[in-house]
Chains A and B, each alone.
Chain A
Amino acid sequence: MGNNKILIVDDDPDIREGMHVRLKYSGYDTCFANDALSSIAAAAKEAPDLIILDLGLPEGGGFLAIERLKAHPTSHGIPIIVVSAKDARANRERAIRAGATAYLQKPVDNAEFLAVIRGALRESAPADSQNIAGIVACVHE
């Protein structure tokens, strides 16, 4: 089985690169978009397993990107984790309502970052693979 692929959507090249390096060292493949509109095209082209998205994006902003990704037939089932410097108290609920799976406020602790990614990928895995994982866990017990 190949590595999970994660689409990183952020307008800052160093943040994209920093996330790419962290994710690569944890065994994930990555692809990139730098604004709200190109995130839709990137999700359709790359078919990622998960999307990490900033809110302060050019070309429409992060909320619009979440709504469009969730409305698009090829990306509606992909979990979206918002990673933003914007105040979580003011923005988390709106992001979740728009369709995000989780909201992390920058700076993000690396262990928490990876745990949230693993959790979101587990929840979005097809039912068959979840059952297989359950059977394997039972066998090991």
Chain B
Amino acid sequence: MSTNDPDNETRLLEQLALIRASFLRRIQDELPLFREQLARARAGDSTELEQLQSFVHRIHGGAATFDFIKVSESAEKLETLLEILIGTPLATIAESEDMRRLVESGQRLALAIGAATTRA
């Protein structure tokens, strides 16, 4: 099987388009849980930070792979913030500037996913 064959190339692109749509649908479905985790982290539950990091990393890589640039950029910023916050005692960050930025970045990511879904 080779991508040099135009029919194969077309089939490959069709399959990739379906997988791209599946990715977007899935992260849209996961948004309510993401918002809950973000709210719990803000309320002081430090265990949520690692859950958030896992989700955000998957979105960062997947959105880059499937060419959702805004979603990938938003996820990257959030992932960087989470790397800073994980390992820091939550009591010291709960009301901090970093936590405020985390919540804002999380909201921006949710908006970017929503916008990508509307465009798709």
Contact = CB atoms under 8 A, between A and B. Distances in A.
B1 A12 contact: no
Interface class of chain A by DSSP: loop
A85 B61 contact: yes
Contacts of B1: 24-27
B62 A14 contact: yes
B64 A21 contact: no
Contacts of B95: none
Interface string B74-109: 001000000000000000000000000000000000
B60 A14 contact: no
Interface in A39-96: 54, 56, 58, 84-85
Interface string B1-41: 11100001001100110011011001000000000000000
Given A25-B1, A27-B2, A106-B64, A11 B58 contact: yes
A124 B12 CA distance: 28
Contacts of A18: 16, 19-20, 65-66
Contact of B23 (A14, A22, A24, A56): A14
B76 to A, nearest CB: 7
Given A21-B12, A56-B58, A85-B60, A14 B19 contact: yes
Contacts of A17: 19, 22
A108 interface: yes
5 contacts: A18-B65, A21-B19, A25-B1, A85-B72, A106-B65
Interface of B: 1-3, 8, 11-12, 15-16, 19-20, 22-23, 26, 54, 57-58, 60-62, 64-67, 72, 76
